[in-house]
Chain A
Amino acid sequence: MSCRYTFGGDEHIFVEVDEAMSLEAFFTSLSMTNAVREAKIKGVTEICPANASFQIKFNPDDIHPDDMLAELKRLEATADASEARLDTRIIEIPVHYQDPWTHETLMRFRERHQDPDASDIEYAARINGYDSVQDFIKAHSGAPWFVSMVGFVSGLPFLYQMVDRPRQIQVPKYLRPRTDTPKLTVGYGGSFSCIYSVRGAGGYQMFGITPMPIFDPEQKVSYLKDFMVFFKPGDIVKWKPISREEYDADVAAVEAGTFMPRMAEVTFSLDDFNADIDGTNAKLMEALNAG
């Protein structure tokens, strides 16, 4: 994989690892951004990994853009040689699919949708060849996901499913973006799932809602006291379908400060994964369930 380097004005370098999304491209982006962080290059002010690309913001008063570019190209060689291995965590995120709040919202924006007579999840199930919404939910929540980018707004994770390409779910975004999306909506656009960290505009299809806050500027939520943003790139997520009763119980637990997401420390190797996808995922699930 050979990266494409381009300047974003006089303060940014944008590096496209690949035009297309893949776990390989994501891993290269992650390892290169880690390498940039460790290299402590003078003048670097922001290091932003994305799905299949990344961006460095720098102060051109401290380092000439051409020198910054040369530093990054030097690091690409190192990153290429390093093993695609990651110490990370797997987290179970409860999802109440087909909840009343996203349903009410999607009904308000039907004229902006490809299929005004179906709900977002019915549409996604149909165009991905699933016989029923239940089968689609099984696929969406069956295999784990990588957080391949955090951004757009306040701590919003983009997630990419850890399955081979034929099994990847693909859904277009809304024809025109909505002006409203409930907070903590679990959405889908292109080949990415996401969780809307805050209420606001959005173009992703809406499948459900999680009771688990992932951004808390006041840092009152029990597991967000250390930092207001929950996710970081490289986190692994497993969706857990829950009923309305379980959703309500989780919301109450969050309020009471007793909710703790189920998670476990794991090591992920891209080579092992590519050799045996389902086996690797099964091991990740074992670690999660033991954790």
Chain B
Amino acid sequence: MPVNVISAGIATTIQDLGRPGYYHLGIPMGGAMDRLALRTANMLVGNDEGAAALEAVFVGPELEFTEDAIVAVTGAELPPKLDGQIQPTWTGFAVKAGQTLSFDFLKNGARAYIAISGGIDTPPALGSRSTYAIGALGGVEGRGIQPGDTLPLGAQPSSASAGKSVPDEMRRTPGKPAELRVLPGLYWHRITEAAQKGFFEDTWKVANEADRMGYRFQGGRVLEFVEREPPFGAGADPSNITDACYPYGSVQVPSGTEPIVLHRDAVSGGGYFMIGTVISADMDLIGQLQPHTPTRFIKVDMDTALAARKERAEALDAIRQTLT
């Protein structure tokens, strides 16, 4: 028995943990931008952590249920309403057949994850239900949800029960300013020492161009390049390179002006130099940044990156232990 989409929000898509393995063909891993929030939402409703759920950006959808289920909303603080009654976030609550789930205004963060017990059971593409709209893969016929869609659910898990909740201190929210840790590298040597220093000193702001492909930042000083003779095939602009692969989280700065951090739906390559990469531990955080959020990039080394990764894994384990 499906869930009927009454209204879709702004850019609500079906996401799971993505489809790794096809990046060499220009098909990105995709999946939830805030993976910890997706996993947690699924745990709260008794699903496998990687089950498909809805990723709503800024504005929630309106959904009509045709069967009983457990629902949990995590990630951004986007309060759910059941037949108009506000429900807690980061908490599993019961929904009865015939009830309507809608959302109040966004309080903080950018992306809410709406997990439904049973998981959304649209057909997978290349092993994932994640929506990759550019390649028309996953989701509902390769796109985000729209009014009139019916979302099929999988079988109700035996462990589904309402009332599980994640304590406040286990929810991660961006600081003010938000801090993204970056390991310098890639084409870091292409900018001057002063520019290297300035990039980490300046406070940037999230630009309006901020989506699943990447987040653009504005407001810092223009990066100054080390002079060079353009290599054959690279192009004349000092920020050009011979078209190469882009790591997830890599920070490219076309013409040295506005840094773009590539995210889960990254373009797999191109001709712009990159000055480093946001470490894996901070990728989830990017998905919760609203436009205009002041942001600092923090320079770290590999040991710090690995320690932060371990710390994130432990935080996820702590949530698992609380909920199961």
A217-B269 Cα distance, complex, nearest whole Å: 20
Whether B242 and A21, one on each chain, are in contact in the complex, defined by CB atoms closer than 8 angstroms, is yes
Given contacts A10-B302, A46-B20, A156-B26, contact A54 B267 (CB under 8 A): no
Binds B, one of A135-143, A146-154, A269-277: A146-154
Whether A60 and B134, one on each chain, are in contact in the complex, defined by CB atoms closer than 8 angstroms, is no
Q: Out of B25, B186, B188, B233, which one reaches A155, CB within 8 Å?
A: B25
A49-B269 Cα distance, complex, nearest whole Å: 10
Whether A52 and B245, one on each chain, are in contact in the complex, defined by CB atoms closer than 8 angstroms, is no
Q: Would you give the 0/1 interface string for A167-179, flagging 1 where the beta carbon is closer than 8 Å to chain B?
A: 0100011000000
Which secondary structure dominates where chain B touches chain A?
mixed
Whether B235 and A55, one on each chain, are in contact in the complex, defined by CB atoms closer than 8 angstroms, is no
Whether A153 and B233, one on each chain, are in contact in the complex, defined by CB atoms closer than 8 angstroms, is no
A8 contacts across to B, CB distance below 8 A: 185-186, 247, 249-250, 274, 277
* Distance to closest chain A CB from B19 (angstroms): 11
Taking the complex as formed, is A268 at the interface, i.e. its CB lies under 8 A from any CB of chain B? Answer: no
Whether A9 and B245, one on each chain, are in contact in the complex, defined by CB atoms closer than 8 angstroms, is no
A191 contacts across to B, CB distance below 8 A: 232-233
Taking the complex as formed, is B137 at the interface, i.e. its CB lies under 8 A from any CB of chain A? Answer: yes
* Distance to closest chain A CB from B301 (angstroms): 10
Taking the complex as formed, is B11 at the interface, i.e. its CB lies under 8 A from any CB of chain A? Answer: no
Taking the complex as formed, is A190 at the interface, i.e. its CB lies under 8 A from any CB of chain B? Answer: yes
Range class of the B interface residue count: 35 or more
Whether A19 and B242, one on each chain, are in contact in the complex, defined by CB atoms closer than 8 angstroms, is yes
Taking the complex as formed, is A120 at the interface, i.e. its CB lies under 8 A from any CB of chain B? Answer: no
Q: Out of A51, A60, A200, which one reaches B306, CB within 8 Å?
A: A60
Count residues on chain A whose CB falls below 8 Å from chain B CBs: 58
A267-B133 Cα distance, complex, nearest whole Å: 37
Taking the complex as formed, is A223 at the interface, i.e. its CB lies under 8 A from any CB of chain B? Answer: no
A175-B262 Cα distance, complex, nearest whole Å: 22
Taking the complex as formed, is A12 at the interface, i.e. its CB lies under 8 A from any CB of chain B? Answer: yes
* Distance to closest chain B CB from A19 (angstroms): 4
A200-B271 Cα distance, complex, nearest whole Å: 17
B248 contacts across to A, CB distance below 8 A: 9, 11-12, 57
Whether B134 and A154, one on each chain, are in contact in the complex, defined by CB atoms closer than 8 angstroms, is yes
A246-B196 Cα distance, complex, nearest whole Å: 54
B242 contacts across to A, CB distance below 8 A: 18-21, 51-53, 190
Q: Which residues of chain A (166-222) have a CB below 8 Å from chain B?
A: 168, 172-173, 189-192, 197-198, 200, 215, 217-218
Q: Out of A22, A54, A60, A168, which one reaches B245, CB within 8 Å?
A: A54
Q: Which residues of chain A (7-29) have a CB below 8 Å from chain B?
A: 7-12, 14, 16, 18-22
Taking the complex as formed, is B309 at the interface, i.e. its CB lies under 8 A from any CB of chain A? Answer: yes
Taking the complex as formed, is B51 at the interface, i.e. its CB lies under 8 A from any CB of chain A? Answer: no
* Distance to closest chain A CB from B233 (angstroms): 3
Taking the complex as formed, is A50 at the interface, i.e. its CB lies under 8 A from any CB of chain B? Answer: yes
Q: Which residues of chain B (58-84) have a CB below 8 Å from chain A?
A: none
Whether B234 and A14, one on each chain, are in contact in the complex, defined by CB atoms closer than 8 angstroms, is no
* Distance to closest chain A CB from B140 (angstroms): 13
Given contacts A152-B267, A191-B233, contact A14 B24 (CB under 8 A): no
Whether A217 and B21, one on each chain, are in contact in the complex, defined by CB atoms closer than 8 angstroms, is no
A224-B119 Cα distance, complex, nearest whole Å: 31
A7 contacts across to B, CB distance below 8 A: 183, 185, 277, 302
Whether A165 and B232, one on each chain, are in contact in the complex, defined by CB atoms closer than 8 angstroms, is yes
B134 contacts across to A, CB distance below 8 A: 153-154, 198, 200
* Distance to closest chain A CB from B319 (angstroms): 18
A151 contacts across to B, CB distance below 8 A: 23-26, 245, 267-269
A189-B243 Cα distance, complex, nearest whole Å: 10
A65 contacts across to B, CB distance below 8 A: 302, 306
Given contacts A6-B185, A51-B243, A229-B25, contact A12 B234 (CB under 8 A): no
A149-B27 Cα distance, complex, nearest whole Å: 13
Highest count of chain B CB atoms <10 Å: which of A6, A51, A65, A151: A151
A274-B236 Cα distance, complex, nearest whole Å: 27
Taking the complex as formed, is B136 at the interface, i.e. its CB lies under 8 A from any CB of chain A? Answer: yes
Taking the complex as formed, is A239 at the interface, i.e. its CB lies under 8 A from any CB of chain B? Answer: no
A49-B23 Cα distance, complex, nearest whole Å: 10
Taking the complex as formed, is A285 at the interface, i.e. its CB lies under 8 A from any CB of chain B? Answer: no
A6-B305 Cα distance, complex, nearest whole Å: 15
A55 contacts across to B, CB distance below 8 A: 244-245, 247
A95-B306 Cα distance, complex, nearest whole Å: 49
A200-B132 Cα distance, complex, nearest whole Å: 14
Whether B135 and A9, one on each chain, are in contact in the complex, defined by CB atoms closer than 8 angstroms, is no
A93-B16 Cα distance, complex, nearest whole Å: 37
**Which residue in chain B gives the minimum CB-CB distance to A204?**
B271
A126-B234 Cα distance, complex, nearest whole Å: 20
A160-B136 Cα distance, complex, nearest whole Å: 28
Chain A residues with CB under 8 Å of chain B are 6-12, 14, 16, 18-22, 45-55, 57, 60-61, 64-66, 149-156, 158, 160, 165, 168, 172-173, 189-192, 197-198, 200, 215, 217-218, 229, 232-233
Name 15 interchain pairs, CB-CB below 8 A, sorted by A.
A11-B280, A12-B248, A14-B247, A21-B242, A46-B20, A47-B24, A52-B242, A55-B245, A60-B306, A61-B309, A152-B270, A189-B271, A198-B135, A215-B135, A229-B26
Given contacts A60-B280, A151-B23, A215-B135, 14 further A-B contacts (CB under 8 A): A6-B186, A7-B302, A11-B280, A14-B186, A21-B232, A50-B243, A50-B244, A52-B244, A57-B20, A57-B248, A151-B267, A151-B268, A152-B269, A190-B271
- Top 3 A-B pairs, shortest CB-CB distance: A21-B233, A8-B247, A9-B277
